Amino acid sequence: MTAPAPIRVVVADDHPAVLAGLVALLSSAPDVEVVGQASDGESAVRTAQVLRPDVVLTDVRMPGATGIEITPRLRETGANVLVISGFDLDEFVLGALSAGADGYLVKTEDPDRILQAVRDVHRGDSVLSVAATKAVVAALRGGGHTAGIPQAEEPEAAGARAGGAVRVACAGSSAHVPSLTRREEDVLALVAQGLSNQQIASELFVEITTVKTHLSHALAKLQLDSRVQAALWWQQNRASPQPLNPGQPLNQGPPLNQDKPLTQGQQLSPGQRPSGQRR
């Protein structure tokens, strides 16, 4: 049986010692291959454009352009983006996620955690450090959201907006929500609960490729870049005041027509589970 191809990674960090440490860590894993390195934002983008890696692991602050500023351009190369930083400030976390990053870690994470995070974002799952999760929860509790994803900006500028209150930016505000199919709503609800694609497939009795297809369609309709943004959008536009915990079982609900778009004003309860057969 042929072994799966290794995960191709580009690492970007302006501190030589940190860059060398991350490269050594990733290179120690048999399923990861470091194909490129960069020490500033612009070279990270150029390297990704040439090498087309699966994942870019980038520092949040670098000369020339920050990791936040280059994230949209990195995603255009087809790469998943994992931001890693020595800072766990809310403005850095929310700035990275708003720009489309698939995950945010701090450099003090356990090495095994960093390796697993690379695998997770490559698989299409989202990864947040404890500090990053707290920042997102705090922003959601504050109730802030905007109608669209802003252009990437300096983290300091993001933190200065609205008197220092950082707001979560997600496309698809409640004022105008594109029509989503029942199945797309199902998938978004479970993404917002923190489930992986494999867990969602098990919950909905479908193949994992089907989950990826519905999630991709939903992201395109909502003009979002990552599952993290999708989770934020759901919490702001669909979730009840007390959403379920990631490990909490779903309640049974009436059967749903999985391919029929929701009508205006109609919502799917986060705990409502669709009926369906594996396909």
Read off the pLDDT of each residue in 238-267 and give the average, rounded to a whole number: 43
**Tally of CB atoms within 10 A around 35:** 17
User: 231-264: string of b/e by CB count within 10 Å (b at 16+)?
Assistant: bbbbbbbbbeeebbeeeeebeeeeebebeeebee
Read off the CATH number of the domain in which 186 is found. Answer: 1.10.10.10
250 pLDDT higher than 60 = no
3-state secondary structure of 145: strand
pLDDT at position 215, please? 87
pLDDT tens-digit series, residues 5-28: 999 999 999 999 999 999 999 999
Q: Say if 107 falls within a structural domain.
A: yes
pLDDT tens-digit series, residues 199-227: 888 999 999 889 888 988 888 888 887 77
- Which of 70-84, 220-234, 241-255 bottoms out in mean pLDDT, i.e. has the lowest? 241-255
Q: How many domains does one find in the chain?
A: 2
pTM: 0.63
- Do 157 and 213 lie in a common domain? no
- Do 144 and 188 lie in a common domain? no
Q: Is the dihedral of CA 211, 255, 229, 219 positive or negative?
A: positive
pLDDT at position 240, please? 61
Q: Say if 90 falls within a structural domain.
A: yes
pLDDT at position 153, please? 40
Domain that holds residue 209: 182-273
- pLDDT confidence of 79, banded at 50, 70, 90? very high
pLDDT at position 158, please? 37
